[in-house]
Amino acid sequence: MTGGQLPEGLSLDGPSLTVAGTPLENGNFSVNLQFTNGTNTLQVGNRFFIAGGGTGAVVISTGGNLGVVTQGSTYSQQFSACCAASLAGSFPSGLDSLPPNLTLSQTGVLGGIVTTAGTYKFTLRVDSADPATYAQRVFTLIVTPLSITTNEALSFGNVQTPYSVPLTVTGATGAVTWTVAPNNYVPPGLSIGLTIGGSPAITGTPLVSGRFSFTINVMDSAMPAHIATRSFTVSIYPVGAFPPLNWTQGQNLGTFGVGVTNIQFEQRHGRVATLSILPDERRAWDARAEQPRSVQRLRRPDPPVVAVPHSLSPWLT
């Protein structure tokens, strides 16, 4: 089996090509199976539907993998089910199987502050009006002390220009290992490597332009190991191209008292821009590029005698 997950209680016996056991949960499941005779390889996707207890009318539609959350954070998961009398279910696996401090509400929300790191596996059961008809699903939630601090939106890059963005994490025990998540791909030409100083980074020389999304995992040296995961996006532009300018301020600059007024504007992305004002408004405002690489400032040098509204149309070029 190369991907997906069998229902809890079932297992694959490769030599006999059979899936057997007593299912402990119901719903839809998908697995990828690989067959090989030593020379040729065949991969096949398979789907399983396991009916619930009784008439099989009740199905929990929430997937079993609840992901990875950071220790100390607030967690909330809404469970969904078809044809259940109530989402205030029970836990055949026992309340001790839940992460400490999490509770299930009457509307089917599992929530609270996750306080203790670990991998938690628990079974949720919901019933129809007839308790003989029910659904069960096994869920896994990983609580980790690790927190990936690299921004999800990576800085842009250019084709044929060396690229490097450090990967950073807090809360780890010992050395950490970074990997690209299965079935995810960083932009061609990039990989997880080291900076000149020896720190982990997404590094390399991009080969093609485009917008790319991928997920990266990190694992520390604790026993058992802690893991964390984060999805990233990065835009790679052609040689010599830049992202479009992004003006971050809103139109309402607020109200100012009599006296000298400084207004700071910030430029995101693009080439170093020059701040200018429409010609008919220059009499009231003085544009200055005091910090031309990242910040542009407008200064009104002459205090107004009367408090009246003024408009200006600054632009970046």
Fold assignment, 59-144: Immunoglobulin-like (2.60.40)
* Distances 114 to 52, 95, 110, 219, 225 between C-alpha atoms, Å: 30, 15, 11, 19, 18
pLDDT at 247: 60
pLDDT class of 308 with cuts at 50, 70, 90:
very low
**Paired strand residues for 229:** 217
Long-range contacts of 192-199, Cβ-Cβ distance < 8 Å, separation of 24 or more = 192/167, 192/216, 195/164, 195/166, 199/166, 199/167
pTM: 0.70
Same fold, 59-144 and 147-237: yes
Q: What's the rounded mean pLDDT across residues 277-295?
A: 47
For residue 224, cis peptide bond before it (omega within 30 degrees of 0):
yes
User: Does residue 289 carry a pLDDT above 50?
Assistant: no
Q: Which two tokens stand for residue 85?
A: 């009398």
Please compute the mean of the pLDDT values over residues 83-98 and round it to a whole number. Answer: 91
Q: What is the pLDDT of residue 261?
A: 60
pLDDT band at 47 (very low <50, low <70, confident <90, very high): confident
**Domain ranges in the chain?**
3-50, 59-144, 147-237, 246-316
Interval 230-266: pLDDT, tens: 999 999 999 999 887 666 666 666 666 655 566 665 5
Residue 314 pLDDT > 70: no
Distance CA 242, CA 260 (A): 35
Residue 275 pLDDT: 56
Mean pLDDT of the chain: 84
Residue 297's SS3 state is strand
What pLDDT score was predicted for residue 227? 95
pLDDT bin (cut points 50, 70, 90) of residue 294 is very low
CATH of domain 147-237: 2.60.40.10
Token pair in block for residue 169: 């994490």
Per-residue confidence band for 205, with pLDDT thresholds at 50, 70 and 90: very high
